Amino acid sequence: MTEIIDAAAHPFPANQDDIRAYMEEPLAHLRFPGLDGYFYPAPEEEYATDLAPDGGPPGSDPVLAARHLLDGAGARAAILLPLTRGLLPDLDMASEVCAGTNAWLAEQWLEHDPRRFFGSIRINPSDPPRAIQEIERWSGHPQMVQVAVPLQAHQPYGQRTYRSIWECAAGHGLPVAVHADALGGNEFWPTSVGYPVHYVEYAAQYPINYIVHLMSLIAEGVFEDLADLVFVFADGGIDMLFPLLWRIDSDWRPLRSVTPWVKQAPVDYLHDHVRFCSQALEGPTTDAERAPWLESVDAEHLLMYSSNYPSVASQTPAAFADLAVDARQRVLGQTALETYPRLRAALAPEHQTDEA
């Protein structure tokens, strides 16, 4: 039987004060950007309103979410990835929002369903010492299975300023998930050539920025130095992976001597160090083309099913129905179990019981 793990679902607070209640003074009473602070608000709804509990936004009720995410989709477990507020100019506030979000997630969600809800440790990568402190604070929590950082950044993630954070995460067996955060801070242009006008342009293009982080991680030798480090690109983008990586692959040979710490061709780092979450907005639109396409992007090794709940771009496991059975099992759950050692450990005793 195919075991389904949902590698990325997004729990939301019912309102800003839910997070504030878990923040510390002297910052807790100050204002910080809210969830609707996007400078590219979805024109109608970004989150499916039929997933909303009475009196709250979509994705804000653990009971309802468990019903949709786990019971409805037949998933064994879900990795929850709450969003924070992007790149706040006030580093301490950004870190405190992360700390509050982690405490809120642990108490309101992880405790609600300790055997099926797993969590992400939100950190502010712009403040490495504080980020490490936050990872250490939660590293003993059995349901925290990864570290999460925003897609937006002031420097690509391979650069040396971040190295100590990734070392800490890898040392604790925590993959690092990258996901576009709720924008609200001092963000760069969402594309490298300026501001598109419409949300539809933004939504199609913004996630592709992951390639900048990935090339940086490879070129700066992060994966050579940290053999256990895994980056999960949770906003999708696997459709663009190979065409973009081929570009750096072909230039790597002539330029190798400049970065001699890159000891393999860039594409050879993917299997050990890189995973993608599935995203409804990518890939061919006809069923007949879908299975061959998934094969061509090496979905079997690199892709993990994620619902992206409660986004309107939510997917169900049925999206992979046409894939060969082995590949389907890997995408829907097996790859996630291999990628997240803490998730595997948490679910292991039940495996033994099931088999006995």
Which residues bind to other proteins, rule: CB under 8 A?
160, 220-222, 224-225, 252-258, 260-261, 263
Closest distance to other proteins from the beta carbon of 230 (Å):
18
Comparison of 87 and 168: residue with beta carbon closer to other proteins: 168
φ/ψ of residue 7, rounded to 5: -80, -10
Closest distance to other proteins from the beta carbon of 57 (Å):
43
Structure tokens at 322: 């046409």
Comparison of 198 and 256: residue with beta carbon closer to other proteins: 256
Neighbour tally for 256: CB within 10 Å: 12
- Check if the beta carbon of residue 60 is closer than 8 Å to that of residue 12: yes
The residue among 210, 206, 125 whose CA lies nearest residue 165 is 125
Q: Where are the alpha helices (DSSP H) in 256-332?
A: 270-273, 287-296, 299-302, 325-329
The residues, ordered by sequence, that sit 6+ positions from 159 with a Cβ below 8 Å of its Cβ are: 216, 220
- Check if the beta carbon of residue 234 is closer than 8 Å to that of residue 149: no
Closest distance to other proteins from the beta carbon of 260 (Å):
4
Comparison of 169 and 304: residue with beta carbon closer to other proteins: 169
Closest distance to other proteins from the beta carbon of 136 (Å):
24
Residue for token pair 């065409």: 243
Comparison of 49 and 264: residue with beta carbon closer to other proteins: 264
Closest distance to other proteins from the beta carbon of 163 (Å):
8
Comparison of 31 and 253: residue with beta carbon closer to other proteins: 253
Comparison of 225 and 287: residue with beta carbon closer to other proteins: 225
- Check if the beta carbon of residue 77 is closer than 8 Å to that of residue 65: no
Helix (H) / strand (E) element for 345: namely: helix 341-355
Closest distance to other proteins from the beta carbon of 128 (Å):
16
